[in-house]
Amino acid sequence: MGTRREPTARQRRLAVELRRLRDAAGLSAREAATLLGVSSVQVSQIESGLSGVSEQRLRRLVANYSCSDDQLIDALVVMATDRTRGWWEEYRWQLPTPFLNLAELEHHATFRWDVDFLHVPGLLQTAEYARALFSCRVPALREEELELRVRHRMRRKAILEGPAPTPYEAVVHEAALRIKVGGRAASRAQLTRILELSAADHVTVRVIPFELEDFSDITAAMAYAGGPVPNLDTVVRDGPHGSVFIDSKAQLGVFRTLFRRVEAASLEPERSRDFIHRLAKEL
């Protein structure tokens, strides 16, 4: 297999997991290479995502690492052998790489959770709402760049609206619902769209009202994507320098706990729908 110019987040995740298994086995890269019958450079390239790995070699590697988690191994094999070129590849070299990585992550997710305090989560946004958000960027985007981002965001919603939709749950603060992004009409249309989407069996939207007291468990947005096994879950958080993908076992456990606490503190789905309906009528 040739060397990659720029591994995707999914390819890097496979590489990270193989490195973790080797570290857990107490083997050096040189020792792993000897057991596999390849050079240490090849192992290094595999563990950095710069080179792919065949199913046969992957299974030999994890056997040498004494990994007995068959579900994890099978999931890693799928990651290694999947040659899917999803719709997001149309945007390669047109949009920043994190846009593509997020779309790929969502495509393969077994479930998706969102928590947001200032904006409606991207998967629930209308085109008008998304356009207004992207229009606020500094420095300003050129019209072509702005529309590319809007179209990409709208296409991401395929995981909610396709023939095999992904289970999705969002917890949104009242502040995000009240901020008028794009004006009164656009905000009303956005709330209506949330109500339409939340009517589906696979979509749950919960609201955190201002009146909730002593709420301090989490103060920033997060997106949680479920993997084929819990070890392969991923959290995405936006930082000052772009999106950060979090995948360590300890951190994933923290974010699962945080989400469940936020979920428990929020209004039940039906009460949340009533709440959003009242807000829409106020506009």
- Predicted pLDDT of residue 219: 67
Based on the domain organization, do 215 and 274 belong to the same domain?
yes
Q: Are residues 277 and 204 in the same domain?
A: yes
* Cα dihedral across residues 183, 186, 192, 194: positive or negative: negative
Q: With bands split at pLDDT 50, 70 and 90, how would you rate the model's confidence at 79?
A: very high
pTM score above 0.85: yes
The domain in which residue 166 lies consists of: 105-282
Instruction: Indicate the average pLDDT of the chain.
Output: 93
Are 237 and 131 found together in one domain?
yes
Give the count of domains, the chain.
2
Average pLDDT estimate for 88-114: 95
> 155 and 56, same structural domain?
no
228 with 261, same domain? Answer: yes
Beta bridge partners of 169: 113, 204
Regarding whether 261 and 185 lie in a shared domain, the answer is yes
- Whether 126 and 251 map to the same domain: the answer is yes
Give the domain CATH number at 65.
Answer: 1.10.260.40
Mean pLDDT of 203-209: 97
Question: For strand 222-225 and strand 112-116, is the pairing parallel, antiparallel, or unpaired?
Answer: antiparallel
Please indicate, yes or no, if residue 89 is contained in any of the structural domains: no
Per-residue pLDDT tens digits for 23-77: 999 999 999 999 888 999 999 999 999 999 999 999 999 999 999 999 999 999 9
Which CATH number goes with the domain that contains 195? Answer: 3.30.870
What's residue 1's pLDDT? 54
Closest CA to 114 of 158, 57, 165, 173: 173
How many residues in the chain? 283
